[in-house]
Structure 1
Amino acid sequence: MIGPLLLDAAMGTRLIARGLDLTRDDPSLWNLDHPEAVAAIHRLDVEAGADALTTNSFGANRAWLSRYGRAADVAAINRQAATLAREAAGPDRLVLGCIGPTAPGTEDEAEQARLLADAGVDALLLETNATAEPIGDRLRALHAVVGLPMIVTYALVADDDPLPELDVDPNEVGLQAIGWNCIPPERAVTLPDRLRRPVKLPLIFRPSGGGWMDEIPRLLDHGVRYFGGCCGTTEADVADLRRALGPRRSTEQSG
């Protein structure tokens, strides 16, 4: 994928706007309990011009789901997450299988990756990771399980080096891009300028808010090729990004 490739906006915060209560529920459970709401959000992102959709599966591993008494539904939830995204995406958009850092490096994470791969996702998106945590062994384990392309994003807590030094050869694990998510846009837009070493991969950029469209030419110059939105963003932000990036091309042309 050469890009620029436009991803979708936040799923969780838009489900909260539709009634999700995080004190007793999890977004991934809505794949089974309220599939029409998840499907509607995916369709809004498609209509706004997204090139790729992210599955609603951030915490859909056995250990995390056990908090809600739903561990037995892990296969059905991941399968439905992929199905809902694929049905909305159609034949010429990508579907990225979302995996959050809720069971990193465990068999539960490997199981989720396998379920998403079996359900037909095009790649895995490992989101909201900590820069202090080495990721090489985790990527090797997942690559051995599914062999899919992978994308990794980090959420920074402190103003340290904005990307960790990878402890794995990207080619060894099919790593396609690395970058950031879940960071306020006013802070996120400074990150490509602060890299201490060249990054020999396309960058991915998914801030938790909009209003940074005038920064896109500079971000492109710094190697950002994947754009999208995280917490609090909506299909309106996707549409703004689409206008800023130009007309949508098929994923075959972008890849």
Structure 2
Amino acid sequence: MTNPLIDLLAEKGVLLADGATGTNLFNMGLMSGEPPEFWNTDKPENILTLYRGAVNAGSDLFLTNSFGANASRLKLHNAQKRAHELSRVAAELAREVADTAGRKVLVAGSVGPTGEIMEPVGPLTHASAVEMFHETADGLKAGGADIGWLETISAPEEYRAAAEGFALAGLPWVGTMSFDTAGRTMMGMTSAGMVDMVDEMDNKPLAFGANCGTGASDLLRTVLGFAAKGSAVPIVAKGNAGIPKYVEGHIHYDGTPELMATYAIMARNCGAQIIGGCCGTMPSHLEKMREALDTTPKGSTPDLEEIVAALGAFSSQSDGTDGEGPTRAPRRGRRRS
């Protein structure tokens, strides 16, 4: 099976993804609690600016502004019937930017969690989840997305439901989870468990990995966990730009462009082939990441001490795979910011 993502990976070896959506849009005036997806139709120039920021910084692919474009999340704003429309327009705007980039750039249709807890723990049925993911994926495909991009998932059941939704839409996909609870996802999935899940799936993602979480160090420890399993599926690393800090009423991430450049090199050395940023990652970070990946030869796999020395301490002693990582009570999924 061929696909633009697989072809570009074969050509370049390592791809640079994009950075944050929320952080960039908040800097443009998005208010807390305001659905970013509404800007696809209300303020399209702002969304084009978001996309161009990543492309101009050197990203090989970028995600659409559709993280919360599913019926469950949009229902909070009485807009559940707009899921397909907002997903489609997000991809159409992205297609415009990608097609005028002057080089090969891929559009990845962002799909976030439903925000609900699936059965048997919560009320969301598998069939309902598949239906919602299918609707969003179909909208992204209609708008011209090259691939779907599932992100910030905590529950394996939701990951599998999304896989079915992408299959129904006929959209190849990439899927990441957020390992932010002592090396595990909120619902207890470990890096090793994710590899096992992906390898057993019928509709496998083109690539899998981790995004968001608690910091660059933790994310790279998770990537090492993926790589240790030896899966043939390419690995994605999309870490936050440092640690969030509350300053003068706003959240700021303390990761400098130079730190994110170091993270990008180390992510590649850990085994990731698609590398980007998540919360707090701006075009200035991506520019340094691009430069670092282009000018620094691939090195040896770093050990945990080297990761800590370069990027800071881990948030927990355990990576979750030793049986020591705790599970936390479920809560609603976060927006990629």
TM-score, normalised to structure 2's length?
0.67
Alpha-carbon distance between aligned partners in 1 of 2:274 and 2:94, rounded to the nearest angstrom: 18
* Relative contact order higher in (CA < 8 Å, ≥ 6 apart): 1
1:111 aligns with 2:120: no
User: Which of 52, 65, 72 lines up with 1:63 in the alignment?
Assistant: 72
SS in 1 for 2:140: helix
1:157 aligns with 2:180: yes
Specify the alignment match of 1:38 in structure 2. Answer: 47
User: Between the two proteins, what is the percent identity of the paired residues?
Assistant: 31
User: Which of 225, 235, 241 lines up with 1:203 in the alignment?
Assistant: 235
Specify the alignment match of 2:278 in structure 1. Answer: 230
Alpha-carbon distance between aligned partners in 2 of 1:74 and 1:189, rounded to the nearest angstrom: 33
User: Which of 91, 98, 101 lines up with 2:110 in the alignment?
Assistant: 98
Cα 1:136–1:236 shift into 2, 3 Å? closer
- Structure 1 contact 150–173 (Cα < 8 Å) conserved: no
Q: Report which stretch shifted further, 38-47 or 160-169.
A: 160-169
* Deviation for aligned residue 1:173: 1.3
* Deviation for aligned residue 1:169: 4.4
Cα 1:194–1:72 shift into 2, 3 Å? closer
The residue correspondences of 1:237-248 to structure 2 (distance < 5 A) are 237-246=285-294
Alpha-carbon distance between aligned partners in 2 of 1:186 and 1:229, rounded to the nearest angstrom: 13
User: Which of 138, 153, 158 lines up with 1:129 in the alignment?
Assistant: 153
SS in 2 for 1:60: coil
1:146 aligns with 2:175: no
SS in 2 for 1:181: strand
Q: 1:104-127 CA deviation, whole Å, 9 max, x = no partner?
A: 833122111111112111111000
* Deviation for aligned residue 1:162: 2.7
1:219 aligns with 2:236: no
- Which residue identity is paired with 1:7? A
Alpha-carbon distance between aligned partners in 1 of 2:223 and 2:160, rounded to the nearest angstrom: 26
Specify the alignment match of 1:179 in structure 2. Answer: 209
Number of aligned residue pairs = 245
1:4 aligns with 2:14: yes
Specify the alignment match of 2:83 in structure 1. Answer: 74
Alpha-carbon distance between aligned partners in 2 of 1:70 and 1:31, rounded to the nearest angstrom: 14
- Which residue identity is paired with 1:48? A
Alpha-carbon distance between aligned partners in 2 of 1:59 and 1:129, rounded to the nearest angstrom: 12
Cα 1:46–1:71 shift into 2, 3 Å? same
Cα 1:138–1:46 shift into 2, 3 Å? same
Unaligned runs of 5+ in 1: 248-255
Q: 1:197-253 CA deviation, whole Å, 9 max, x = no partner?
A: 223211101111051423444432432000111111111111111101118xxxxxx
SS in 2 for 1:111: helix
Specify the alignment match of 1:50 in structure 2. Answer: 59
Cα 1:165–1:188 shift into 2, 3 Å? closer
Mark the structure with the bigger radius of gyration: 2
Q: 1:107-159 CA deviation, whole Å, 9 max, x = no partner?
A: 122111111112111111000011x5235642542243122221111111322
* Deviation for aligned residue 1:83: 1.2
- Structure 2 contact 211–237 (Cα < 8 Å) conserved: yes
Q: Report which stretch shifted further, 56-65 or 205-214.
A: 205-214
Alpha-carbon distance between aligned partners in 1 of 2:202 and 2:167, rounded to the nearest angstrom: 10
- Structure 1 contact 103–109 (Cα < 8 Å) conserved: no
Cα 1:4–1:36 shift into 2, 3 Å? same
- Which residue identity is paired with 1:28? E
- Structure 1 contact 143–174 (Cα < 8 Å) conserved: no
Specify the alignment match of 1:189 in structure 2. Answer: 220
- Structure 1 contact 61–103 (Cα < 8 Å) conserved: no
- Structure 1 contact 136–167 (Cα < 8 Å) conserved: no
1:22 aligns with 2:32: yes
